[in-house]
Structure 1
Amino acid sequence: MKLVSIIVPAYNCISSIERCIISLLGQSYEKIEIIIVDDGSTDGTGDKCLNMALGDKRIKFYSVEHRGVSEVRNEGLRHASGEYIMFADADDYVKNSFVMQMVAALEADPDCDMAVCNYERVVYGGLYPIRTFTDDGMISKEDYLIQTLKDPGHHYFGVLWNKIFKRSIISENAISLKKDITLGEDFVFSLNYLKFAAKVNIINDKLYFYCYQKNDTLSRIINKSLKDCENEMHNRNKIFDNYVETMKKAGLYDRMKKRIYHYWIVFLVRQRYSLNAEYRWKREEKHFWIRKMHENTNIKTALTIYKRGEVQLEYMAFAIVQTIKNIMKKTLKSIKRQ
């Protein structure tokens, strides 16, 4: 039985961290170490974590000045001694078979270097349906990368907490979370890891409970500023550079170029929808943002690959789905209030 290191970044999460850690301590797979790194919390999270660490030798606790989640996860990686690496977020919790099933999936084939599980999304205390992207089973890393093209920005592909990694691949190739990327840094970590992987095993069992953030998503979108959007596009340019690099190394870029650039069609469609239905901006700000997006080199390329009618169909489909999602979230929120 190989040691598994589970890295948990913690920042001002005093109301949820205990639930997360208790679910990890209750794993049926016994050989684990839980590495909690407190990111300079100011609400007592650090003291709570320290007390939990004093009560169970499987917990290792570290505290740093506030650095942000990427650097905190990198700090956790530096202290990890397990042969396998997993991650969990302090707001979430897991099934007691989470580690056992992930390890079994990773060890099912000597050429398997990463395993991925499905998850439940908890919204206002209720379960919110998510899309299933892949079938169960062992696939090549090339096939997995092709699967990401369905929606590379989706949590399923982008996050770290539904995956298990080999520490040897991480350390031998100096893979870390990028400090200069503040959105989608998890996905970039996975992409850089996949450059050195052979096979990926998919588990469709829902082993992780991702808990919807306390802040209302629609409120956050409505209050989004032009600067926020510019920062997102700047981050997406960096993510896309890594995506293209990984696809080229896997020999997939030329064959999948149109689908790869769909990443930018999705971004453009979502921004157009938000400009029409959500952002509370002045007219000149909206015009400026439209112009700014169309000056982006990657978006320009995407619009030479996709026809106007294809983009319009994408927009209509997205608008319908978004409307349904907003209704479902409002319904779950009203049920919680009752």
Structure 2
Amino acid sequence: MAKISIIVPIYNVEAYLQKCLSSILDQTYRQFELILVNDGSTDASGEICDYFAASDDRITVIHKKNGGVTSARKAGLRRAIGDFVGWVDPDDWIEKDYFEKMVLAQEDSQADIVAGNHFRDIGKQSYTVCNNILAGLYTRESILPKLIYSGKFFEFGLHTSLCTKLIRRSILDKIQPEVDEEINCDEDTVMVYLGILEAKKVLVTEYCGYHYVQRQGSITKSEGNDDLRRLRLAFRCLEEGIAKRGVWEKLRFPLRQWEKYLLLERQIWVFDEKADDKTILLPYGGLSLHSRIVIYGASALGQTIVRYIGRNHLAENVLWIDKSYENFQRQGLQVYPPKDIQKLGNAFDYVLLASVTESIVNSMHGCLLELHVPEEKIRWLSESFVQEEIPW
């Protein structure tokens, strides 16, 4: 069976690292090397790495100056000797048979890339997150039409986490020089899509064995100009890589939809640069300045909207609601159950559905109607915003 290299980029995660590393070392598949890249941690993460390495000769520890997650992943890749490479993030964990199932799937199919599903763990709850591409063996040409965008805004075709992939190392060695180390957000997407464009065969499996743990504060994104610069750097890197491989026209619109989705969740203010001085939140069709708003949804988009309107005093956030309000309250966020909207009476102008996933939005919409919220007060992304191609 093939030997694999498992790379874990690590920065200041001492509270989670032991569970992560123990789940890797407990794997039923034993033919692996484990490369721990301590990216300049200032807590005890480095010492934890050394402690584990002292008792298992499969572990290599790299201590380096902090350079960000892309720099850490590249450092691990340069040290890797396995035929295939897998990743685990240091605050996540994996089922015991995770790599056994992934390796067996690769050997049966002879695929260059194997892609699985994952669990999303939020507090005591765990949700299965599946790819929106049917399980099966694909050539590069056959996977392209649904690779980036399922056709519904916004659903990935293939989810882009490196941590749910097993990738042939020779492919990674070829593409990693193209990925700028300053790309520290959505570097997974760049690596995965460029990797698939270099692959002859890609296997999409139904197996789910990776646990992505959404810990307190882990989904909060920066909205500063530097974050926007890094996002656009990722966009440019991927656009250039796609054009270089001769499939720009096939992937242009799906890629623009992905870019729009990321800016919406992290930098929604950029869309209001074209608004007049009396209108905000153009993606939602435009709202009057200082409207009284209820925000339904407390994940990434909801948090971005709350910060945006609060920081600039553009509107009054009269209530923030989510069915998983207890989880968000534990994170220190002032989020309440949807039924609390009834306490407002008519003292609000709009309810914004703060999700980019159509199925979730439909559920939110139905919940509000059951609570007798007037249809005309419920807003989601406008049809023109969803459909138009916005070049950056």
**2:168 aligns to what?**
166
- 2:258 is matched with which residue? 263
1:328 to 315, 323, 329: 323
Residue 154 (structure 1) shift? 5.7
Residues 176 and 44 of structure 1: CA distance in aligned 2, closer, same or farther (over 3 Å):
farther
Partner of 1:209: 211
Q: Please list the CA deviations of residues 36-88 of structure 1 after superposition, one character each: whole Å capped at 9, or x if unmatched.
A: 11112222111111111111112111211222211111111121111111111
Q: Is the 8 A contact 1:116 1:203 kept in 2?
A: yes
d(CA) in 2 for partners of 1:97 and 1:86?
14
Q: CA RMSD in A?
A: 3.6
Between the aligned partners of 2:134 and 2:155, the Cα distance in structure 1 is 19
Kept after mapping to 1: 8 A contact 2:216/2:331: no
Aligned to 2:231: 236
SS of the aligned residue for 2:116 comes to strand
Unpaired runs of 5+ residues, structure 1, are 276-287, 295-307
Residues 126/247 of structure 1: CA separation in 2 closer, same or farther (3 Å cut)? same
Give the residue type in structure 2 aligned to 1:258: F
**SS of residue paired to 2:33:** strand
CA contact (8 A) 1:38 1:62 kept: yes
SS where residue 157 of structure 1 aligns?
A: coil
Q: Could you list the per-position Cα deviations for residues 266-296 of structure 1 after superposition, in whole angstroms to 9, with x for gaps in the alignment? A: 3565578x55xxxxxxxxxxxx8722799xx
Report SS of the residue matched to 1:189: helix
SS of the residue 1:67 aligns to: coil
| Aligned match of 2:196 | 194
Distance 1:43 1:94, change over 3 A: same
1:52 aligns with 2:52: yes
Amino acid at match of 1:140: T
* TM-score of the superposed pair, with normalisation by structure 2: 0.66
Give distance in 1, aligned partners of 2:102 and 2:177.
21
Quick one: structure 1 residues 334 and 312, their matched pair in 2 at CA, closer, same or farther if it must change by over 3 Å?
A: closer
2:63 match: 63
Give the whole-Å Cα distance in 2 for the aligned partners of 1:115 and 1:293: 44
Distance 1:69 1:255, change over 3 A: closer
Q: Which residue of 1 aligns with 2:139?
A: 140
Inter-CA distance 154–39: structure 2 relative to 1 (3 Å threshold): farther
1:81-96 → structure 2 map (5 Å cutoff)? 81-96=81-96
Question: CA shift at 1:117, angstroms?
Answer: 0.6
Deviation, 1:247, is 4.1
1:169-180 matched pairs, under 5 angstroms:
169-172=171-174, 175=177, 177-180=179-182
**Cα distance per residue 1:124-158 (max 9 Å; x no partner):** 23114545422211112234333212378969633
| Residue of structure 2 in register with 1:278 after alignment | none
- How far apart are the structure 2 equivalents of 1:120 and 1:154? 16
State the shift of 1:172 in Å: 4.8
Describe the superposition over 1:81-109 as per-residue Cα deviations: whole angstroms up to 9, x where unpaired: 11111111110000111111111222233
CA contact (8 A) 2:118 2:128 kept: no
- C-alpha deviations, 1:216-273, integer Å up to 9, x for none? 64xx46xx54xx2x3343333333334334444565433454333223443565578x
How many residues matched? 298
Decide whether the 8 Å contact of 1:119 with 1:208 is kept in 2.
yes
- What is the alpha-carbon distance in structure 2 between the residues aligned to residue 85 and residue 67 of structure 1? 21
SS of match in other structure, 1:120: strand
**Same amino acid, percent of matched pairs:** 23
| 1:38–1:45 contact (8 Å) kept in structure 2 | yes
Say yes or no: does 1:121 pair with 2:116.
no
Paired AA for residue 7 in structure 1:
I
Larger relative contact order (CA 8 Å, sep ≥ 6): 1
Instruction: Give the aligned residue type for 2:238.
Output: Y
Say if 2:102 and 2:114, in contact at 8 Å, map to a contact too: yes
Residues in 2 aligned to 1:64 and 1:42: alpha-carbon distance in whole angstroms? 12
Task: Point out the structure with max Rg over C-alpha.
Answer: 2
Relative distance call for 1:152 and 1:190 in structure 2 (3 A) is farther
- 2-structure distance, mates of 1:172, 1:268: 29
Q: 1:297 corresponds to which residue?
A: none
